[in-house]
Chain A
Amino acid sequence: MIHCYKLNGYNIVLDVFSGSVHAVDEVAYDAIEMYENSDKETIITYLLDKYGEKDDVTREDLEELFDDIETLKESGKLFAPDVYEGRAFDLKNRNTVIKALCLHVAHTCNLNCEYCFASQGKYHGDRALMSLEVGKRALDFLVENSGTRTNLEVDFFGGEPLMNWDVVKDIVKYGRELEKTHKKKFRFTLTTNGVLLNDDVIDFANKEMHNVVLSLDGRREVHDHLRKTVNGKGSYDTIVPKFQHFVERRGDQGYYMRGTFTHNNVDFTNDIFHMADLGFTELSMEPVVCKPDDPYALTEEDLPVLFEQYEILAKEMLKREKEGKGFTFYHYMIDLKGGPCIYKRISGCGSGTEYMAVTPWGELFPCHQFVGDEKYSLGNIWDGVKNKEAQQEFKLCNAYAREECRDCWAKLYCSGGCAANSYHATGSITGVYEYGCKLFRKRMECAIMMQVDKAQER
């Protein structure tokens, strides 16, 4: 399967099953597009008719082009067959180990963000803080169920984790003790809205947190419209100076400024550029996850605008990089040489199998977005996973699980997509959230185009 598209002056051919990317001229673009459905003579006649006035488009030249296409095909870089589909079914019986936990250390929040999928941190349940006892047991559970895997990831999430900061620090200390007695390495991440950031948090996070995710929606008026304090005031002026101080002190360690865009700011690139202008360089901006009838839900009419926005973003990023003031955008980070292997690309995010969320009470869910949904309560950190039926459902959730993905060129980039998005949009984790797919494909086209541009520069 191939995917051909034109973007930012480039003609790009993506060979889906080999992962190859080709930048071609317009003659080769047409030839490759026609290759599987027309014979050689038909294609040459068509190309001579269309491009014959060009000096370098002769029959001899087109014969050479055909030889090149055949060479690429023989070397497995073009029209490569799908040799993975059979393996996808092996995934059902594979042994999985748990490698990441999302610790919901605080089911409460000091902001009252209107669009919060966690219903202001409570996940549609009671307010609660995780005890140190539960946190320590969660790390024990992770170590016990992680097999021979060395690197273990733990995200401190909420609600707002800084509302239970002393417990977070003690859980980290316990994790460092476990590292000494087990062949494990914890990578901790802190996700915070920034309200309670102070030097104690910054110093500890910069010493212990592999990554920090800082929530900011961009421009003041956009951010303050939905990210309000419990008194109804905007939070921008409180958090931005704190985030700037935090990031400055963080040096070259990992962080992300992470925003959400909604129907209210479909021109979300202006929010990304605003974050960049504030001095932040590691940026992420996500489409809102909400019910279709929420007033800020993205609409079908928004789609063409969003597509254009993603293109604007890619072009501006290339421009700024050449000017020496580049920044990264999470969804455009794609390493064509060092990206995921085919197993990862087929098996997906690992929710429910390799990744689970832990509530303040120690209950296990397939991921943070399923917390509170009793149907998907998997068990707890003392007794382990008991709801094997639900876990099996997640195990089967992969790039080949959905009929709708069969002909999609992006399936080895999204791996079938987010199970929670599918579930909320269709009622089934193996459903298809087509709106999200459309945005994802556009982002991938932009990300690959940027790699092509960089390759041309080299």
Chain B
Amino acid sequence: MKRIQTIETRDLKKSTQTGGCGECQTSCQSACKTSCGVANQQCEKCVSEK
């Protein structure tokens, strides 16, 4: 597309089928402990498939 570059991202709708294994890290159990979100969490499945 001439004017739009789509960055490769995980398809969230598709993840309703593939996600939910629960093996991912708990958000707060890392560096922040005070202002966490989930955005910077890794998907455990995606990491092990790499």
Task: Write the residues of chain A forming the contact surface with B, with a CB cutoff of 8 angstroms.
Answer: 17-25, 27-28, 61, 64-65, 68-69, 71-72, 76-77, 80, 83-84, 87, 97, 99-100, 102, 117, 149-151, 153, 155, 187, 189, 191, 211, 213, 256, 258, 260, 282, 284, 286-287, 289, 330-345, 348-351, 354-355, 367-369, 412-415, 417-418, 420-421, 436, 439-440, 444, 447, 451-452, 455-456
* Chain A proximity mask over B8-22: 1 for CB below 8 Å, otherwise 0: 111111011011101
* Shortest Cβ gap from A339 to chain B (Å): 6
Question: CA of A342 to CA of B16 in the docked complex: distance in angstroms?
Answer: 6
Question: Is the pair A417, B37 in contact by a Cβ cutoff of 8 Å?
Answer: yes
Contact (Cβ within 8 A) B39 A334: yes
Most A CB contacts (10 A, CB to CB) among B24, B40, B44 go to B40
CA distance A65 to B50 in the complex (A): 36
Question: How many angstroms between the C-alpha atoms of A25 and B1 in the bound complex?
Answer: 11
Chain A: CB-nearest residue to B28: A349
Is B10 within 8 A of A28, CB to CB? no
Contact of A348 among B11, B15, B27, B34 (CB under 8 A): B27
Chain B residues near A (Cβ < 8 Å): 1-13, 15-16, 18-20, 22-44, 46-47, 50
B20 nearest CB across to chain A (Å): 4
Top 9 A-B pairs, shortest CB-CB distance: A341-B19, A338-B46, A341-B15, A28-B3, A413-B39, A256-B31, A100-B26, A284-B31, A349-B27
Q: Report chain A residues within 8 Å CB of B27.
A: 348-350, 415
Query: Which residue of the partner chain, among A76, A97, A342, A440, contacts B22 with CB atoms under 8 Å?
Result: A97
Picked from B7, B29, B35, the residue with its CB within 8 Å of the CB of A189 is: B29
* Assembly CA distance A349 to B24 (angstroms): 11
Q: Is the CB of B9 within 8 A of A153?
A: no
**B3: A residues at CB distance < 8 A:** 24-25, 27-28, 65, 68
Q: In the complex, which residues of chain A have a beta carbon less than 8 angstroms from the beta carbon of B46? A: 335, 337-339
Q: Which residues of B contact A367 (CB under 8 A)?
A: 28
Bound-state CA distance A340–B27 (Å) is 10
Q: Give every chain A residue within 8 A of B1 (Cβ-Cβ).
A: 68, 71
B4 touches A22 (CB 8 A): yes
Residues of chain B within 8 A of A413, CB atoms compared? 37-39
Q: Tell me whether A117 and B18 are in contact (CB under 8 A).
A: no
Residue with the greatest number of chain A CB neighbours at <10 A, chosen from B2, B15, B22 = B22
B30→A256 contact, CB < 8 A:
yes
Question: CB within 8 A of B38: which of A189, A256, A348, A456?
Answer: A348
A451 and B9 CA atoms in complex are apart in Å by 10
Q: Out of B5, B8, B40, B41, which one reaches A337, CB within 8 Å? A: B8
Q: Which of B2, B12, B35 contacts A65 (CB 8 A)?
A: B2
Between A and B, 30 residue pairs with Cβ closer than 8 Å are: A17-B12, A17-B13, A21-B6, A25-B3, A65-B2, A68-B4, A76-B13, A87-B16, A97-B22, A100-B29, A150-B23, A151-B23, A155-B29, A187-B25, A213-B30, A256-B31, A286-B32, A286-B33, A331-B32, A337-B8, A338-B50, A340-B43, A343-B19, A344-B24, A349-B38, A350-B26, A418-B28, A421-B35, A436-B35, A455-B8
